[in-house]
């Protein structure tokens, strides 16, 4: 399972949340507008093993892979059991 924290600009907050997601998900990413992705963001995300996705109105691309995590099996199972098979509504 993969997690993606999407933020417009708040990359520090996104990284913090993505780090916590590593306890549950196999890979964790942040997704930011392409204009917000820079060397500082990539370095900080990389320090925590978090991947980075650059998004624009027309496309998205992984600019830095997230490391393969070793999530807590019980936590991952609980999330999977609650989420898989359910649709998610976006505002």
Q: Per-residue DSSP letters for 4-68?
A: EEE-SS-HHHHHHHHHHHTTT-SEEEEEEEGGG--HHHHHHHHHTT-EEEEE-SS-EEEEEPPPP
Asked if pLDDT for residue 43 goes beyond 80, the answer is yes
pTM: 0.84
**24 vs 60: CA distance, rounded Å:** 24
Give residue 74's pLDDT.
84
| Range in 46-50, 61-65, 76-80, 84-88 with the lowest mean pLDDT | 84-88
More confident residue, 84 or 39: 39
Asked if pLDDT for residue 78 goes beyond 90, the answer is no
Give residue 1's pLDDT.
86
Of 51, 49, 15, 57, residue with least CA distance to 33 = 57
């Amino acid at each position: 399972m993969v997690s993606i924290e999407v933020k417009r600009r708040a990359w520090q907050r996104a990284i913090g949340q993505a780090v916590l997601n590593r306890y549950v998900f196999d890979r964790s990413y942040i997704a930011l507008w392409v204009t917000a992705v820079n060397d500082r963001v990539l370095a900080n995300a990389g320090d925590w093993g978090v991947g980075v996705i650059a998004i624009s109105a027309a496309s998205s691309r992984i600019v830095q892979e997230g490391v393969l995590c070793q999530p807590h099996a019980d936590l991952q199972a609980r999330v999977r059991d609650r989420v898989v098979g359910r649709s998610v509504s976006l505002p």
